[in-house]
Structure 1
Amino acid sequence: MTISSRHVQTARLDTFVREAGPETAPVLVLVHGNVSSSVFFEPLMEELAGQFRLIAPDFRGYGDSERLPIDATRGMRDFSDDLAALLQALSVTDPVDLLGWSAGGGVVMQFAIDHPERVRRLVLESGMSPYGFGGTHGEDGRPTTADFAGSGGGTVNPDFLARLRDGDRGEDPASPLTTLRQFYVKPGLSFPEDLEQRFLDGMLATSVGEATYPGDSTPSGHWPGVAPGTTGMNNAISPAYCDLSPFADLDPAPQVLWVRGDQDQIVSDTSLFDMGYLGQVGAVPGWPGEETFPAQPMVSQLRHVLQRAGGHTETVYPDCGHSPHLEHPDRFAADLRAFLA
C-alpha cells in the first residue's frame, strides 16, 4: 500500500502528514518522539495500511512541519492542540485510536486528558513518564529539587546538539547516526542502508534552537547546575511543566496497550539520558548521592499512573530497545491489530 504525504494547513500551523489506508477504515494516529519524525513509522504504515486509515504528522519544528516555537510552559499542550487542529482540518470527527512513541506517548496522554471524547484507545510505545523527563523521584513523581534541576533544555549533550545542528552524517560517538544505532534501538540491530538514511534524514530535520529543540535553560544552584527554561521540547517534557497524572482521573480512562523493550536505554528506571542515573554511574561529575539526587524511575512512574487509571495491558518485548515497532515489527503489528480489533 502506498504511503502519501502532504502539507495540511490547520488553524494553528502548516503540518506535514504521512497517510496510508482507505479513508473509510478506522483511524489510527501515529505520533512520533523527540529528535525524529513521522518517517520512523513508514515500515509500520506499510504493514497496517490494509486495516486502518493511518495519519502520521510531524511535530511543529520537526520533520517537514512549520518551524513554530514550542511554549514549554504549557507542557505537552502545544502538541495536543496541534493534533486536535489537524484532525479538524482532516474532517476526522469520530473518536480515534492513537499510538504515541516515546515523547509521543506524552502527547497522546495529554490529548486524552484534553479531549477524552475524541479518544477510543491508546497505544503507548516506550512511553515517557507522566511526570516528565528528569528531575523527579519515587513512583509518584516527587520533585527532586524545587527548580527541577537536571531536566530541560540544558541537559542535552552539547556535542550531539552541535552535530545535529550541522547535519552531521558521520559515525563519531556523539553523532546522530550513532545515537540512532546505539539508543533508538538495541545496539547491534542493523537496517537496510536506504531505510537507515531515511531515519537519519528524519532526525536531521529537527529544528535546533531555544524555541524548538532542545529549548533554553536557566542556571541552578542544585546539581547538575541547570534547570528548565520556558521554550522548546526538552522543557515541555520537563516536570516543571509536564504532568500527565490527571490521565488517571479520566472517567472512564481509555484502554491502553503499553509496549516497551526490556533493554530500552532512553525510557527506563536506569536511563542513560537521566542526569540522576548518569551521576550514579559516574558519567556526570559531582553527583551528590542517592539520597540527594536519585535516578528517575520512569517505567515505575508510568505503571503507577496506568494502574490508577485501570484498563491497561503492559507488554515487555525481550531483546528489544526503545523502538519495538522497528525491532520486532511482525510481533508489534500483530499485537496492535489484536488490541485495536
Structure 2
Amino acid sequence: MDIPTLDGITAKTVTSDRLTTRVLFSGPEDGIPVMFVHGNVSSATYWEDLMMALPAGYRGIAADNRGYGGADPSKKIDATRGVRDLSDDLAALMDALGIETAHVVGHSLGGSVLWQFMIDYPERIRTVTQAAPGSPYGFGGSKGENGEINYPDGAGSGAGIVNPEMVKNIIAQDRSADSPTSMRNVINSLYWKPPFKPAREEELLSSALSIHTGENAYPGDAQPSENWPMAAPGKFGPNNALAPNYQGDVSQLYAIDPKPPVLWIRGAEDLIVSDNSMVDMGALGQMGAVPGWPGADVFPPQPMVSQTRAVLEQYQASGGDYEEVVLPETGHSPYLEKPDEFNQHFHAHIQRYDA
C-alpha cells in the first residue's frame, strides 16, 4: 500500500511479537505517546490530521490494524476472541516501541478495541478518548441498555449482514461514484454528514480500499442460521469480531484498576453508531428494508449510544470518570468533520492528566 502522507508524518514498518505492519509517527521521538486505533474499512491514514495537531511535546503513533492496509496479510483476525487480537496487537506494538504507558484514542471499531484494551491492559493507559466508538456489547444482534443478545448464535451480526455489492466494489478497487455501494459513495454518505467532504478525500478513499479481503479477512465468513435474518457470524474477520456472542464480560470494565479517565466524543447525526443505525439489521428490519423482521420484542434496533452511556455511567459509579461530548451537525467522524471542536476537548483531556 502506498498512500501519500502529510508533511510531518513519517511512515515506518514495525515488527512486534505479533504483527508486522505500517506505523505512522508525528512529533518528537521523546514526546508523550498517543496511540491511535482506526475504525473498520479504513487505516492509520485517517488519523494524520489529528496527529499533526497534537500539542507540543506529544508523539502521535497510528498503526494499520491486523487485516488492514500495510499489515501482514497472512495474519488474520480470530473473531472467536472478539477484538482481543487487535487489543493484544496494540500492547505488542507498545512493547516493540518501548512504550510503557500512553494516551489511547479509538474510532468506531477502534473504539471497540479500546473497551477490550481497558479490560486487559488498564495499567498501560494514561487516558482514553473514544470518537464515535462501537458499543461495548458489539455491533448488531443485541438489545436493551444491558446488551442482551437477541439469539445465542449472534444471528443478525457479523459478516453475513455486510452488503455483498460493496465487498465486490472494494475487491475491484472501484474509485467511481457510479454505484450506491462504491466506497466513494459509502464514505461520503455514512462516514461523515453530507455535504461535508474532507480535503484528503482521495487518500481516505485509498485507505478504505486498502482493507484485506477474503473469506478469512473482510468481510469474513458467515454461518447459516434458523434465526432472522438467517445468517450468523463465522470465525474470522473484523465484522465477526464485533458479533455480540464473541464479546467478553463487559462488567469487567467496572473492576479494572487503575481506571483511566474516558472522553467520549460523538456526532449528533451519526448514521453508523446510533440508537437507530442505518447499517443495523434491527433498524433496517423495522423500516421494512429487510423482509421477515420478527418485531421489536425479538430484534429491535440496537441502542448503541444508550448502551455505551449505561456502561460509562456504571464505570463512573464504580470509581471511574467520563465525559460525553456531542457535536451538532456532525456524523460518524467528528475528528475529521469538526477538528477544532474535537481538539479543544481532546487536548484538554490529555493535558489535564499530564499536568
| TM band (smaller chain) | over 0.9
How high is the TM-score relative to the length of structure 1? 0.97
Q: Map of 1:69-84 to 2, 5 A cutoff?
A: 69-84=76-91
Letter in 2 for 1:18: L
Q: Map of 1:91-106 to 2, 5 A cutoff?
A: 91-93=98-100, 95-106=101-112
Once the two structures are superposed, residues 72-130 of structure 1 have per-residue CA deviations (whole angstroms, 9 ceiling, x without a partner) of: 0111110011111111111112x211000001011122112111111111001001000
Q: Give the 3 Å change call, closer, same or farther, for CA 117–252 of structure 1 in structure 2.
A: closer
The corresponding residue for 1:176 is 183
Give the aligned length.
338
SS of equivalent to 2:53? helix
Q: Map of 1:150-189 to 2, 5 A cutoff?
A: 150-171=156-177, 172-189=179-196
Deviation at 1:244, TM superposition (A): 6.0
SS of equivalent to 1:259? strand
Residue of 260, 263, 287 corresponding to 1:254: 260
| Identical pairs, percent | 47
SS of equivalent to 1:183? helix
How far apart, CA to CA, are the structure 1 residues paired with 2:300 and 2:117? 30
Q: Map of 1:116-135 to 2, 5 A cutoff?
A: 116-135=122-141
Q: Tell me, which stretches of 5 or more residues in structure 1 are unaligned?
A: none
The corresponding residue for 2:273 is 267
> Is residue 147 of structure 2 the alignment partner of residue 137 of structure 1?
no
The corresponding residue for 2:4 is none
Deviation at 1:14, TM superposition (A): 0.6
Once the two structures are superposed, residues 214-245 of structure 1 have per-residue CA deviations (whole angstroms, 9 ceiling, x without a partner) of: 11110111111100111111110111112361
The corresponding residue for 2:19 is 13
Whether contact under 8 Å (2:198, 2:336) holds in the other structure is no
The corresponding residue for 1:209 is 214
Deviation at 1:139, TM superposition (A): 0.3
Q: Tell me, which stretches of 5 or more residues in structure 2 are unaligned?
A: 1-6
Letter in 1 for 2:180: P
Deviation at 1:49, TM superposition (A): 5.9
How far apart, CA to CA, are the structure 1 residues paired with 2:312 and 2:346? 18
How far apart, CA to CA, are the structure 2 residues paired with 1:40 and 1:49? 18
How far apart, CA to CA, are the structure 2 residues paired with 1:55 and 1:166? 30
Whether contact under 8 Å (1:248, 1:309) holds in the other structure is yes
Whether contact under 8 Å (1:30, 1:57) holds in the other structure is yes
Whether contact under 8 Å (1:156, 1:214) holds in the other structure is yes
Letter in 2 for 1:329: P
SS of equivalent to 1:268? coil
How far apart, CA to CA, are the structure 2 residues paired with 1:79 and 1:328? 27
Whether contact under 8 Å (1:269, 1:296) holds in the other structure is yes
Letter in 2 for 1:224: P
Residue of 194, 201, 205 corresponding to 1:200: 205
Letter in 1 for 2:329: D
Once the two structures are superposed, residues 36-80 of structure 1 have per-residue CA deviations (whole angstroms, 9 ceiling, x without a partner) of: 001011111121163410100011120111111110011111001
Once the two structures are superposed, residues 283-316 of structure 1 have per-residue CA deviations (whole angstroms, 9 ceiling, x without a partner) of: 1111111112111000011111111111100000
Letter in 1 for 2:236: T
The corresponding residue for 2:311 is 305
The corresponding residue for 1:223 is 228
SS of equivalent to 2:345? helix
Letter in 2 for 1:180: I
Whether contact under 8 Å (1:75, 1:243) holds in the other structure is yes
How far apart, CA to CA, are the structure 2 residues paired with 1:173 and 1:75? 30
Q: Give the 3 Å change call, closer, same or farther, for CA 82–210 of structure 1 in structure 2.
A: same
How far apart, CA to CA, are the structure 2 residues paired with 1:51 and 1:164? 38
Please identify runs of 4+ aligned residues in structure 1 that moved more than 2 A. Answer: none
Q: Give the 3 Å change call, closer, same or farther, for CA 134–148 of structure 1 in structure 2.
A: same
